[in-house]
């Protein structure tokens, strides 16, 4: 049984992430993981132009992670970029800055490819085998919905709805007002109707009735699991498989939206640099659970980067 050490660097709208893992027969064993918030999407959504300072921060973070991947003796390295880079009118400025800083070419992946890799990564967890899954990956600029069972998915789509995108658009007060949370919920309700229509709701309605498992992957659900267990660090074995009821998600949402930013930064399990975007992340999950009547959310730390590692030659 051969094992190959591979690395992937993921340039997201909110942060840059590194995963180095040993891959053998469809199983990924992480050996190093890092994340650095560069907020590539800051100031982006009015003009659809990536700004010079976030581009520079992102390129510097990528260069550091490329060096780390080399230190870990990765046999291959894949550098991917998602929503903000995908939507930008000046995406070439990012790719050129990254190439100059790190010497590595950026692969800007499509929303469909992102959703496919999220599904493949999440389903690499043996504990989810045999279940029908609705996977939700809330990122900074987009949210991926994937419905499937075993290795097959019957629906996948990436939607222009993410925590940084929504924060930049709605700009709640500090602390948020009742009108702010009402505006956010109304925006999400209208988005579901406009972007997804009735056909997806009918499909997901059938899914919930057949007891599909709603799985959340990405930064928001990792933070919620850490808050639930009052964890001050990142421990995959304790985060994976955490289950949160819709009622518990709603309680967290009400609490988080009631606090000023300075108080949210002090909460156990919530990294201070994520205390602003967590409002929108949890609002999206709560809205999906409410709109599609999912009673419970299961947290997965696997997703896009795991899928990208598995897809490498």
Whole-prediction pTM = 0.91
Judge whether residue 232 has pLDDT over 90: no
What total of structural domains would you count in the chain? 2
Verify that 43 and 141 share a domain, yes or no.
no
CATH number for the domain harbouring residue 51: 3.30.420.40
Least confident residue range of 101-110, 126-135, 241-250 = 126-135
8 Å CB contact between 148 and 228: no
Q: Which residues of 177-200 are buried (b: 16+ CB within 10 A; e: fewer)?
A: eeebbeebeebbeebbeeebeeeb
Verify that 104 and 146 share a domain, yes or no.
no
Verify that 144 and 289 share a domain, yes or no.
yes
Verify that 73 and 155 share a domain, yes or no.
no
Q: Give the pLDDT score at 282.
A: 98
Q: Give the pLDDT score at 219.
A: 92
- Partnered with residue 300 across adjacent β-strands are 217
Verify that 245 and 156 share a domain, yes or no.
yes
Verify that 97 and 217 share a domain, yes or no.
no
**20 in any annotated domain:** yes
Query: Which of 109, 143, 167 represents a domain boundary (last residue)?
Result: 109
Verify that 151 and 81 share a domain, yes or no.
no
Placement of tokens 């009400």 in the chain: 254
Verify that 133 and 39 share a domain, yes or no.
no
Per-residue pLDDT tens digits for 18-47: 999 999 988 899 999 999 999 999 999 989
Per-residue pLDDT tens digits for 288-302: 999 888 999 999 999
Kindly give, in sequence order, each residue whose CB lies less than 8 Å from that of residue 295, ignoring residues fewer than 6 positions away: 245, 246, 289
Verify that 151 and 286 share a domain, yes or no.
yes
**What is the band of 222 on the pLDDT scale with cuts at 50, 70, 90?**
very high
8 Å CB contact between 147 and 119: no
Verify that 76 and 162 share a domain, yes or no.
no
Q: Give the pLDDT score at 200.
A: 62
């Amino acid at each position: 049984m051969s094992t190959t050490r591979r690395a992937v660097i993921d340039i997201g709208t909110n942060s840059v992430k590194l995963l180095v893992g040993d891959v053998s027969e469809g199983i990924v064993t992480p050996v190093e993981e890092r994340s650095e918030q560069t907020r590539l999407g800051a100031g982006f959504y009015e003009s659809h132009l990536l700004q010079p300072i976030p581009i520079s921060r992102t390129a510097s973070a990528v260069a550091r992670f490329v060096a780390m991947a080399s230190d870990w003796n990765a046999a291959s390295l894949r550098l991917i970029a998602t929503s903000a880079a995908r939507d930008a009118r000046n995406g070439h400025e990012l790719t050129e800055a990254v190439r100059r800083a790190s010497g590595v070419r950026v692969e800007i992946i499509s929303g469909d490819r992102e959703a496919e890799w999220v599904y493949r990564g999440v389903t690499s967890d043996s504990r989810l085998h045999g279940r029908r899954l609705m996977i939700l990956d809330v990122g900074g600029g987009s949210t991926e919905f994937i419905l499937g069972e075993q290795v097959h998915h019957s629906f996948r789509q990436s939607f222009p709805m993410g925590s940084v995108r929504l924060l930049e658009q709605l700009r709640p007060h500090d602390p948020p007002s009742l009108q702010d949370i009402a505006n956010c919920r109304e925006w999400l309700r209208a988005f579901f109707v406009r972007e997804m229509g009735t056909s997806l709701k009918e499909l997901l309605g059938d899914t919930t009735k057949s007891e599909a498992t709603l799985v959340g992957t990405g930064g928001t659900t990792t933070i919620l699991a850490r808050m639930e267990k009052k964890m001050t660090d990142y421990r995959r074995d304790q985060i994976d498989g955490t289950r949160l009821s819709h009622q518990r998600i709603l309680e967290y949402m009400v609490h988080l939206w009631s606090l000023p930013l300075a108080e949210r930064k002090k909460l156990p399990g919530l990294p201070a640099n994520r205390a602003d975007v967590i409002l929108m992340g949890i609002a999206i999950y709560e809205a999906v659970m409410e709109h599609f009547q999912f009673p419970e959310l299961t947290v997965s730390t696997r997703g896009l980067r795991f899928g990208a590692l598995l897809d490498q030659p």
